[in-house]
Structure 1
Amino acid sequence: MTSPRVVIIGAGIVGTNLADELTARGWDQVTVLDQGPLPLTGGSSSHAPGLVFQTNPSKTMAEFARYTVEKFLDLDVDGAWCFNQVGGLEVATTPERLADLHRRQGWATSWGIPGEVVSPEECVRLHPLLDAEQVLGGLHTPTDGLARAARAVVALARRAQSRGAVFRGSTRVTGIAQAGGRVTGVQTDQGEIPADVVVSCAGFWGPAVGEMVGMAVPLLPLAHQYVRTGQVAALAGGADEAVEARLPILRHQDQDLYYREHADRLGIGSYSHRPMPVSLSGLDEDGEITAAAMPSMLPFTEEDFAPAWEQSRLLLPSLRTAKIDTGFNGVFSFTPDGGPLIGESPDVAGFWIAEAVWVTHSAGVARAVAQLLVDGRSEIDLHGCDVHRFEEVQLAPGYVHETAQQNFVEVYDILHPLDPKLSPRDLRVSPFHARQKELGAVFLEAAGWERPHWYEANAPLVDQLPDAWRPPARDAWSAKFHSPIAAAEAWRTREGVALYDMTPLKRLEITGPGAVGLLDRLTTGKMDKSVGSVTYTLALDDAGGVRSDLTVARLGVDRFQVGANGNLDLDHFQREAGDDVQVRDSTGGTCCIGVWGPLARDLVQPLTSDDFSHEGLKYFRGRSAHISGVPVTALRLSYVGELGWEIYTSAEYGQRLWDVLWAAGQPLGVIAAGRAAFNSLRIEKGYRSWGHDMTTEHNPYEAGLGFAVRPGEYTGSAALAGISDETVTRRLSTLTVDDGTSVVLGHEPVYLDGAPAGYVTSAAFGHTVGRPIAYAWLPAAAVPGTPVEIAYFDRRIAGTVAPDVLVDPEMARIRR
């Protein structure tokens, strides 16, 4: 069968990697275009310093980097290396950074990357230029190293060309030809090139290419300073020009600096300067391109580098007699959340992007994109890289401009998992926002939404907590962005009644005569049920991986409300919908209050003439109703494991709905409760969080969701044939912490019999059970009762594999 005609725009490290990956899979009609000359095109790859550090809090990004190392180790150009595995060393000059290095070592262990936190003496042995008096310790990762990006581009291009790929330099793309909603070719200043698939790997020129098909590419080019020193006496007689480096690449993150050898000179990169956004219109794209001059190398601003130079001379005393020889401000791509941008245009089929990708992750991203094109799925979960992960407000130029600059500022900062953006804020607020502020809500932010994590109005309840509910003191790290008020809110939910703002959870409206068929085809649940039925179901990919979990309510014969996980679900359903189905994001026009607790019926039933009894509205059923005159849709669901409902109405009635529930609940002691309590309660109940606890890398049986899988044919069903709870070799397991006090936060490695065996996905203090709980991926042989250890910073915490559901496994509380 003839392979599709593919045109890749951009012959840098991403484009050439992609050409190599595609041709390795038998696609032989691949053309790579670049506006610059070949092989030195003038983009970021041509001047990139090439440091490859694999350790990352994201499993996906770490996997990308690890594959880059593996691939580049096997590349050379006429015997000259493309990857020099000198190792990596991150040093700490503050106690906070040293603690963070232990946390980073935990990530490395979780993702299978070797690494060790070493003493100051060992740091100096590894990198003798260091001042031992400045260093408290370091993280040594022996498999990190230096990529020669420009040389790797040559090696990859040669290999792709040997398999039939064509490379054309000095060819400017002027447009994307399309017909019938599909790409048909790429228009250039030298004529049109036919194409079935077009992939933009144009780096910081990506937004301009995206505009050609009307696709927003949320990326901001920013300048980043890099200098080379003159000769450094301490490096004399070390690496020669061919070897280039013998010492490990070095990061001094306390001062936003990194270092690498250039034979007897040192290269220094700095993120410590002010953000410097770059306008593409100001780049010189017509001048001669050389190794020392290209469009992506802007003039050096010496005053911005002065503080970095002083800090470098403190850390590396041998620089005190050296001078800066050359410097430039190099252009790199930054995004609102720091992740790459991968995906296909929602409007023009066959137009793909792979942008905001650094050398570190280039081969891994290229492999993932090649797998998407050839196989239809990536073996690595991509939800944090998919360009469609952003909400509409996050695509606004002002939002991209501000948040991308903030990511530059924070690139080496020690960030807590709950660290919220400080700006922009208050972009999306629910109709209850004014009332929440009156109650002293402490807001964190996600997807632009303001989300209460606890309410200061509930502080007096902390003193009323029964002894069994009193939470232990936390260490400083797990206490950040947390309050003991969460324990009081969990207590009142379990023993009274609480209101939860569920508005930010994505809601899709799927309507039309083809709605049942679409949902039956794309999910694991039976959808042709009676009106009013609610179904917990999964959307799988073709290999049976969990691409989302969904709550589907049938509100009419041809009308469904789908509780989804984010914009990726909207994109997926819209792509799959035929002409007889409409898929619409209804989130912004609606709102939702979770009314949960054993007194929930006492609160709601007096406000309505509709029957909210157990028989009148059974578990996992929904109905239209009126509450104090407010038209609502009530779904008998509870993600905290208590009696109650998700009560929806349109945004215009939201504040009225809150007020009537709040007023009626006063004699019952109603409270407002936040996400901190919610997360604790849902983990106790065994409920999963997609994107944290399971992704496309896991099948339903591994994730403990086999109950949601029906017999029949739907996307992914064939891949599940023969798989069951009994046949899986790994499972998402529930752990409890033996000391009853140590709270972990996620991504920590878990040890079985002293050896790394898995990693934590999400965790919380279980206020009902009185001890910390974590979900972790572990071998299936780790049955309840199995002892484990969780690595938390520089210590091991004893834990035990527990039953999946710790609170009310019989579901009696939720079904009363």
Structure 2
Amino acid sequence: MSSTPETRQRGHQVVIIGAGIVGCSLADELTARGWTDVTVLEQGPLPAPGGSTSHAPGLVFQTSPSKTLTAFARYTVEKFNSLQVDGVPCFDPVGGLELATTPERLADLHRRAGYAASWGVRGEIVSAARCKELWPLLDESIVLGGFHTPDDGLARALLAARAQTARAESRGARFLDRHTVTGIEQQDGRVTAVVTDRGTFPADHVVSAAGFWGPVIGRMAGVDIPLQPLAHQYAKTRPLAELAAAAQEAEKPILRFQDRDLYFREHTDRIGIGSYAHRPLPVDPFAVPGYDAARAYDMEMPSSYPFTEEDWAPSWDDCRRLLPALGEAGIEEGFNGVFSFTPDGMPVLGESRRLRGFWLAEAVWVTHSAGVAKAVAEWMVDGRASVDLHECDLTRFEDAQRSPAYVCERGSQQFVEVYDVLHPLQPMERPRPLRVSPFYARQQELGAYFLEGGGWERPHWYEANAPLVDTTGGVPERDAWSARYWSPIAAAEARATREKVALYDMTPLRRLEVTGPGALGFLHRMTTNNLRKKPGAVTYTLLLDERGGIRSDLTVARLGADRFQVGANSPADLDWLARHAPDDVHIRDITSGTCCIGVWGPLARDLVQPLTRDDFSHEGFGYFRAKETYLGHVPVTAMRLSYVGELGWELYTTADLGLRLWDTLWEAGRAHDVIAAGRSAFNSLRLEKGYRAWGVDMTDEHDPYEAGVGFAVRMDKEFVGREALDSAAAPARRLTPLLLDDPAAVVLGKEPVYAPTAGTGGAPAGYVTSASYGYTLGRCIAYAWLPALPAGTGVHIEYFGEKVPATVAEEPLFDPKMTRIRR
């Protein structure tokens, strides 16, 4: 995720578009790092320009399922706590309180408490009585408990913007209001200037921090920004007698009533209430009026739309039920405030490859504003951020996820689900199906249960395999949470893969074609392993950044002297390689035009060999080798790889021949009891072998040695990140395999892990990354980032508030001598 050396060697003349909390924070962070030629352009008046910052209620709840978002929020709290304007602090650490009025919500709060512990946020589950102490206006009878986070609180966003503006100006930055951007000038694929109605501003770097106007700025630059503005209701009550003695703006914790999509905060003797309970109210960013036009339409500011009473009525009933004191108060004022949502609810950050020097810092809420600004400033100045940003990278969306219809539909659903109890595997319901493999019809016939990722429909198990389920108690029953989006059929599919043979749809895995006279030298220089092998070789290797962090892991097949097929992880890999590729190297994403079937199991050779005249024996087709051949009538690229720990091949062909390939393998496999198997079994099998999943088990926050993939590094060659690895200290933490002691226990990932490590003071020693039941081993497997611990060490994983015992294990857990793969 770092910018290229060419980018960083250019000048540091920066123009930031937007003087909301993100733009002001970024100006502060950039100037603090020595980039002082910074101009911030704002179309509205300062210090309250009329965007989302101007109306934000300021709630900062730090805890999120995303480690990255939590890191952003923690830094925001830390920074805003240190700022004040005219003696007024920019942050009130009143704490946060999330309520449960249903058993399901109470269980979810235990899960959130686990996230908080994993990511370093103070918090505890409290009783209904304690909730009443913290918020005396509550009707305690409907509350089952709560999650109290004492370091959360209220950000005074406009004050924080002013404080950071003053610091940035003291270092040389300038802030110009009443400047409406009308164009972005560019030359030879690079940004050169920002055009406004009051002049043109030359720039080496332009950052769009325009909030819900982001798509407008993006269109000027020719850069797609997948962001949907939506209106959100906020109201203030009339003065309450119970708060008449209030001496401060807020004393009680900010309050969430998530079972009814509501939140509350004090405004001295009034209460402010926000609601996500109403229908989505999308706003066209191209139709939002300018500041003066909004005032002419009797709108307080462009981001503040008229209050829709009809949407408020149901929420008001819920408010009075929770806080009976509101019964006689009534609402004094309200508005529908506009702010930004993306299809996955995450910010959009990074530099566009389409227009070099054009950066995005969009879809950022006040909660994460300073943290995002710090990360983007690090990225621009140092070449990478100090936290993993792959969840926020602007390249993460597929082309199929960038249509205005998709962005609006998914963005609106994100609004609806802001406070929902969401399972980590829970997919969006619409628009589906969007992307399907050529085998989709056959998968439907087999009763595939599909989940979705990257727009792809991915079978997780097949109902056709239900008769294979062991009904004698071979698979323990699961708790209600872990049983969601799971079936015991997955165990049957895993067993069939270990005992016979199974077909896996691997089509959604990204495939790049790299060709040209310089292809070998380029890939050899960009990755960590030795790629100078003869055609037919397949190599597992890593993409690192300059600091030695793991940007991605790749499988590189040399199919010809100057032709390679690269198995990658995300669009960011294509973006990274394309940024660095010389003119004699051509890179093309071939995923959508191709497909892949994994054929794995001890009978895989028996299935495949009769279909081809080529030698598929171990001697004739070794492990990590590739051949271009035919199976029946279908031309395929066969690679002898296995991410499930069994004999087999990945078989690639063009999308138009995919269905024929499936049918050919299926018919040949009948004699061997072939089955189709899904991602649920795949994940179990890959964890039994200890195969890492990039983006989950390891990111650019980790180096290869601590992540356990140092075998893919050749220090006798030059590659990006080598110098950093050369000077790296011995790993103080490791990605560690754990086996849960109780055969019936399971965890799902992101849970805190407690270890007998001196000096932790009760804090967790680390957190779980991936977890799945190992059906071959009869235990749940959890990989976790922990201090280096010897095998046999006992630890505890906190799962919904319960401490589940586990033991550090040796890896690989299954087939350590690789005899099953290499036969």
TM-score by shorter chain over 0.5: yes
Indicate yes or no: 2:703 matched with 1:736: no
CA distance in structure 2 between the partners assigned to 1:713 and 1:608 by the alignment:
40
| TM-fit CA distance, 1:722 | 3.9
Alpha carbons of structure 1 residues 612 and 2: separation in structure 2 relative to 1, 3 Å: closer
Alpha carbons of structure 1 residues 730 and 286: separation in structure 2 relative to 1, 3 Å: closer
- 2:322 equivalent among 315, 323, 327: 315
Instruction: Give deviations 1:604-645, integer Å, cap 9, x for gaps.
Output: 101111100001110000011111121111000000000000
> 2:5 aligns to what?
none
CA distance in structure 1 between the partners assigned to 2:201 and 2:787 by the alignment:
50
Alignment of 1:313-392 (within 5 A): 313-392=320-399
- 2:54 equivalent among 12, 29, 46: 46
| TM-fit CA distance, 1:422 | 1.0
| TM-fit CA distance, 1:281 | 4.2
- 1:185 equivalent among 182, 193, 200: 193
CA distance in structure 1 between the partners assigned to 2:544 and 2:765 by the alignment:
26
> 1:276 aligns to what?
281
> 1:215 aligns to what?
223
SS across alignment from 1:133: helix
| TM-fit CA distance, 1:579 | 1.1
Indicate yes or no: 2:684 matched with 1:677: no
Instruction: Give deviations 1:306-365, integer Å, cap 9, x for gaps.
Output: 111110100011111211000000000000000000011121110001000000000000
Q: Is the Cα contact below 8 Å between 2:50 and 2:291 reproduced in 1? A: no
Unaligned runs of 5+ in 1: none
- 2:527 equivalent among 523, 529, 532: 523
- 1:461 equivalent among 468, 484, 489: 468
| TM-fit CA distance, 1:3 | 5.8
Instruction: Give deviations 1:235-256, integer Å, cap 9, x for gaps.
Output: 1112x3xx31000000000000
| TM-fit CA distance, 1:280 | 3.0
CA distance in structure 2 between the partners assigned to 1:507 and 1:715 by the alignment:
22
Q: Is the Cα contact below 8 Å between 1:40 and 1:289 reproduced in 2? A: no
Q: Is the Cα contact below 8 Å between 2:541 and 2:712 reproduced in 1? A: yes
CA distance in structure 2 between the partners assigned to 1:329 and 1:762 by the alignment:
40
> 1:532 aligns to what?
536
Instruction: Give deviations 1:81-118, integer Å, cap 9, x for gaps.
Output: 11000000000000000000000000000001000000
> 1:792 aligns to what?
799
Q: Is the Cα contact below 8 Å between 2:21 and 2:53 reproduced in 1? A: yes
CA distance in structure 1 between the partners assigned to 2:524 and 2:471 by the alignment:
49
Alignment of 1:725-764 (within 5 A): 727-753=730-756, 755-764=763-772
| TM-fit CA distance, 1:464 | 7.3
> 2:694 aligns to what?
690
| TM-fit CA distance, 1:526 | 1.3
> 2:719 aligns to what?
714
Q: Is the Cα contact below 8 Å between 1:3 and 1:28 reproduced in 2? A: no
SS across alignment from 1:215: coil
Indicate yes or no: 2:93 matched with 1:85: yes
Q: Is the Cα contact below 8 Å between 1:19 and 1:165 reproduced in 2? A: yes
Alignment of 1:190-209 (within 5 A): 190-209=198-217
Letter in 2 for 1:88: G
SS across alignment from 2:449: strand
SS across alignment from 2:184: strand
Alpha carbons of structure 1 residues 190 and 477: separation in structure 2 relative to 1, 3 Å: same
Alignment of 1:86-101 (within 5 A): 86-101=94-109
RMSD between aligned alpha carbons?
A: 1.3
| TM-fit CA distance, 1:214 | 1.1
- 1:806 equivalent among 788, 798, 813: 813
CA distance in structure 1 between the partners assigned to 2:454 and 2:303 by the alignment:
32
Indicate yes or no: 2:63 matched with 1:55: yes
| TM-fit CA distance, 1:2 | 10
| TM-fit CA distance, 1:289 | 7.8
Letter in 2 for 1:335: T
CA distance in structure 1 between the partners assigned to 2:266 and 2:728 by the alignment:
51
> 2:494 aligns to what?
490
Letter in 1 for 2:56: A
CA distance in structure 2 between the partners assigned to 1:376 and 1:744 by the alignment:
36
Q: Is the Cα contact below 8 Å between 1:334 and 1:356 reproduced in 2? A: yes
Alignment of 1:429-508 (within 5 A): 429-463=436-470, 470-508=474-512
- 1:654 equivalent among 658, 672, 677: 658
Task: Give % identity.
Answer: 65
CA distance in structure 2 between the partners assigned to 1:515 and 1:645 by the alignment:
25
Q: Is the Cα contact below 8 Å between 1:3 and 1:26 reproduced in 2? A: no
> 2:428 aligns to what?
421
SS across alignment from 1:702: helix
Q: Is the Cα contact below 8 Å between 2:213 and 2:286 reproduced in 1? A: no
| TM-fit CA distance, 1:743 | 1.0
Instruction: Give deviations 1:250-277, integer Å, cap 9, x for gaps.
Output: 0000000000000000000000000000
Alignment of 1:8-19 (within 5 A): 8-19=16-27
| TM-fit CA distance, 1:740 | 1.0
Letter in 2 for 1:283: V
Instruction: Give deviations 1:446-499, integer Å, cap 9, x for gaps.
Output: 00101000000000001478x7xx211000000000000001000010010000
CA distance in structure 2 between the partners assigned to 1:126 and 1:626 by the alignment:
70
Letter in 2 for 1:762: S
> 1:28 aligns to what?
36
> 2:307 aligns to what?
300
CA distance in structure 2 between the partners assigned to 1:593 and 1:797 by the alignment:
37
CA distance in structure 2 between the partners assigned to 1:571 and 1:368 by the alignment:
19
Indicate yes or no: 2:576 matched with 1:572: yes
SS across alignment from 2:536: coil
Alpha carbons of structure 1 residues 95 and 142: separation in structure 2 relative to 1, 3 Å: same
| TM-fit CA distance, 1:794 | 2.0
Q: Is the Cα contact below 8 Å between 2:299 and 2:305 reproduced in 1? A: no
Alpha carbons of structure 1 residues 652 and 464: separation in structure 2 relative to 1, 3 Å: farther
CA distance in structure 1 between the partners assigned to 2:476 and 2:209 by the alignment:
51
Indicate yes or no: 2:594 matched with 1:590: yes
SS across alignment from 1:814: coil
SS across alignment from 2:221: coil
> 1:228 aligns to what?
236
| TM-fit CA distance, 1:518 | 1.6
Instruction: Give deviations 1:19-70, integer Å, cap 9, x for gaps.
Output: 0000001111000000001111000001100000000000000000000000
Instruction: Give deviations 1:692-715, integer Å, cap 9, x for gaps.
Output: 000010000010001001112211
> 2:76 aligns to what?
68
TM-score, structure 2 normalization: 0.97
| TM-fit CA distance, 1:154 | 0.8
CA distance in structure 1 between the partners assigned to 2:292 and 2:661 by the alignment:
64
Number of positions where the alignment pairs a residue of Structure 1 with one of Structure 2: 807
Letter in 1 for 2:384: R
Letter in 1 for 2:85: V
CA distance in structure 2 between the partners assigned to 1:235 and 1:464 by the alignment:
61
Q: Is the Cα contact below 8 Å between 2:259 and 2:419 reproduced in 1? A: yes
Letter in 1 for 2:279: R
> 1:109 aligns to what?
117
Q: Is the Cα contact below 8 Å between 1:42 and 1:289 reproduced in 2? A: no
Letter in 2 for 1:123: C
> 1:126 aligns to what?
134
Q: Is the Cα contact below 8 Å between 1:643 and 1:815 reproduced in 2? A: yes
Q: Is the Cα contact below 8 Å between 1:3 and 1:27 reproduced in 2? A: no
| TM-fit CA distance, 1:180 | 1.6
CA distance in structure 2 between the partners assigned to 1:719 and 1:797 by the alignment:
38
| TM-fit CA distance, 1:578 | 1.7
Letter in 2 for 1:657: L
